[in-house]
Amino acid sequence: MDGGTYVVRLRDLEMRIDELKEQIRRSHTRLSLLSDTVLSGGVGGARAVITFKNELSSAFRLTGAVIVLDGVVQFNRQDDSENGLLANQREIPIFSGSIPPGDHTLQVVLRLRGHGYGVFSYLRGYKFEIPSGHSFTVGEGKTINLDVVAWEKGDVTTPVEQRPAIRYAETTKAGFTGPAAPTAGAAARPATTGPAVRAGASGSVSIGAGTK
């Protein structure tokens, strides 16, 4: 092994060790908070409501989606048919239930197929995979509403094939409130589109892009 290869592998190993340390730290935080809740004898905990929203134009069709919360798959569906239900659903409930207070991680992978027309007909030969991750924190006795939004970034000067991306919008409220949605493993169904940030709640938005 030459010196350059050794340095690259060493850096890769260091990055993996740092990632493992961060995962362990988050696990310790969740366990500590959960332990405090149990020992205090209170009815504590937190709640999360996660929803996927498809705001892509007709230039793209959603053919697959995998959404993982804290290492557990909550949604995994592939549908590459021309009139697939997955592409036609503008809003899909992903998760609604209790979670330990503290830090959490959401991982998302979307697969798209170009569905261009007219001058954009060349998009039909394109396939996209958009990986993204989002970390969030929810406090004791709070409910977080987290929207995972597939959208098109940029403006009219941005090449169409570079526009697909993922952004996240979250709001936090006191108490265990939120719209009804299926828990992990339940079948998805269409839902009414609503605002990503609701009045009277704190909110934030973050963005993750993908590649062809």
Residue reference for tokens 């009045």: 199
Domain boundaries of the chain, sorted by first residue: 1-43, 45-209
Q: Which residues, in sequence order, are CB contacts of 110 under 8 Å at separation 6+?
A: 62, 64, 65, 128, 129, 130, 132, 150, 164, 166, 210
At 139-164, the pLDDT tens digits run 999 999 999 999 999 888 888 778 89
Provide the token pair at 167: 């952004």
Give how far Cα 106 sits from Cα of 42, 67, 127, 159, Å: 28, 7, 23, 28
Side chain identity, residue 70: D
pLDDT digits (tens, 9 = 90+) for 4-54: 676 667 777 877 787 787 778 777 766 766 665 555 444 468 999 999 999
The rounded distance, in Å, linking the Cα atoms of 39 and 116 is 58
Q: What percent of the chain has pLDDT over 70?
A: 65
